[in-house]
A and B are shown apart, each in its own frame.
Chain A
Amino acid sequence: MNEVLPSLGGVALFLLAGLGLTEFFPGLRRLTLPSRLGYAYLLGLAVVAGSLYALSHLAKVPLRPPVIYLTFAAPVVAGLIRRALTPWPPLPVPGEGGKRARTGVGGEGSGGGPSKVVIRVIAGLLAFVCLGLFADAVTNPVTGWDGRMTWSTQARYVREEGTVDAEALRNGRWYINHPRYPLLLPVAQVAVLEAFGAEEDRHIFRPLYAALFPAFLLVLGDGARRWAGRVPAALAGLAAAGLPVLTFWQDSGAASAYSDFPLGCFYGAGLVLLLRSRRRVSDAVAAGLLLGAAVLTKNEGFLLAGSALLAALFLLRREGRLRQAARLGAAAALVALALAFFVSWRSEIPERHDEKYSSFVDAGDFWPETFTRIPWLAPVIAREMFIWHRWSLFWAVAPVVFWAGRDGWHGRRRALFWTLLLAFAAPLAVGWGAYTVHWNPLPLIPVTWTRFLVQGSIPLFLLLALALRGALRRMPGRSVPKVLLGLSHRAG
């Protein structure tokens, strides 16, 4: 536990930088502090690590403490100046956030609001799980397979040479697995290790990953509260906290050093931002920064970022289409920039010690195998989703909740439902596409399918919140679940 202070410091550096950045985005600035913290942490990670990645590759700036301190400090100072110069925005008026906050399940006519005690108990449980993740991060070294094979190994080589264009990556004789994988998270690791002058073996970067879980919960809470209400949001958060696959599982959860959970956070948060503020171009810029970070987090990040933009098209309103197109265009431009940068960086890195994808796949198989392989692969996929130490009972229960709560996306939430469904399906489609063209996908499924589900987890849990809303609304006013949650009519 001698890692505690620098570990907290590392998280705080990204958080403070992100809080500075949120000053520039009115939609984020208006949020309550807890909701804002989730986006702030992700933005801090995206912009600071992204800037260092770009400075190192494009300007050949060494990844050493002076530059790292400046990169952390710049958004903090800019945010403080912005805050001093611009009057603090008014709090949400009752009728917007206030109405949502006061009503129970999902807003209109759902009866009394949830009991404060219930909400506090749920918040306490979630905080305790987050504390456990942090304790794990400061106590144990990297043990997950991909963390050791790829991400943290790359970080060590980058740190040693002080550049993302390390000779260890660029010279084909050195043994590196997946040398062309994007380096946003390894650069974040380097930033923390260098900022605190940590020795070779210190793992003070692990809490960066652990802190993604509270960020995930806060972003999920923001979206779910807005679209489904406080209680469904809280219940969806509890469901997420109960899943090892998102928390303590060493092969992609927040306790790992894998890039799937970070990708899921960037992708999900970018999507929520795109959907929740449909008027402001500036907020779309924030979404674009997060989706750009998704591009620099994993190879499939670009496909997911593109899917988020495509999904957001579903919610284009009839009025003000030009402005909305400008919003999506601003976000898309940042995604394109991130992609161009990524291509530029990886173009000088020889491929080696990676899966020989071209020898595994035959694109000609895509049709009709995308359908004919369903009976062959579906049972394997289903088995993955019922592995107890990853998913507990989740996939046994979730379909029933979705079916019973289908009212949750009727009416004006229908478009939102389709948008979220498309966003959840995007990573699964990427996976299915790979399984379709691979000559033998059976060994591939156990090591990849769960990760694709993790990548789509924010839209999945938003859908769950909508379904819970629908189910709760169909329950009588004094039914057991509503009484337990403090949602029963208090009068009469």
Chain B
Amino acid sequence: MRSFRITAPGIALALFFLFLAVSLPLSLGRSVRRIHAAFRFAGETAYEERARHFGAEYARAVEEIRRTIPKDGVYLLLDGDEEELGGAIWVRFDLAPRRAVFLGFLKDLKTPASFRYPLIRETRWVVIGYAQKPPRLMEGSELLRRLEAGR
């Protein structure tokens, strides 16, 4: 006859099997979804992948910036958010190996006397990264005009 006596190892093993019963189906479910997605999105381009994950506007903006700045090009990178949410870091990956010079927060560029202004004037491209919005590309001179106009 099978023994149903309650013992410490019995309780431990019952809990362990409960853990497996809860967590394994979740892992297997994730696997099923990933395998399904692999067939569903087969043949996607990198642009389509990026649009699926980060939004069409983000993907379009990245494509545009990449078309404009050559692979061995250089750009100034600004964080457009009010606090550090990583928007600049996020877009830098999609733009690499283009090299970035980080200028900090856009909100800190209020004073025309800032040491950053000459740098912006000398650099052709500026990219402003946001956490919740697509990145913006503009020429250094345009950014200066906007800053000076108080926008």
Contact = CB atoms under 8 A, between A and B. Distances in A.
A244 B22 CA distance: 12
B43 A2 contact: yes
Contact of A401 (B15, B23, B44): B15
Contacts of A405: 9, 12
A129 B28 contact: yes
Contacts of A136: 34, 37-38
Contact of B15 (A125, A200, A241, A400): A400
A168 interface: yes
A345 to B, nearest CB: 19
A131 B7 contact: no
Interface of A is mostly: helix
Interface string A101-138: 00000000000000000000000010011011101101
B60 interface: no
Contacts of A84: none
Interface residues of A, number: 67
Interface residues of B, number: 56
Contacts of B31: 128-129, 131-133, 135
Given A404-B9, A471-B9, A153 B53 contact: no
A81 B86 CA distance: 51
Interface of B: 1-5, 7-20, 22-24, 26-28, 30-35, 37-39, 41-44, 46, 49-50, 53, 71-72, 77, 86, 89-90, 92-93, 96-97, 99-102
Please provide the 6 A-B residue pairs with the shortest distance between their CB atoms, ordered closest to farther.
Answer: A132-B31, A242-B23, A201-B46, A404-B12, A160-B97, A1-B42
22 contacts: A1-B39, A133-B34, A135-B35, A139-B34, A139-B38, A153-B92, A160-B72, A168-B99, A199-B46, A200-B71, A238-B20, A239-B19, A244-B27, A393-B18, A400-B15, A404-B9, A471-B16, A474-B8, A479-B3, A479-B5, A479-B10, A480-B4
Interface of A: 1-2, 125, 128-129, 131-133, 135-136, 138-143, 145, 148-149, 152-153, 156-157, 159-161, 168, 173-175, 177, 199-202, 235, 238-239, 241-244, 247-248, 353, 392-394, 396-397, 400-401, 403-405, 468, 470-472, 474-476, 478-481, 483
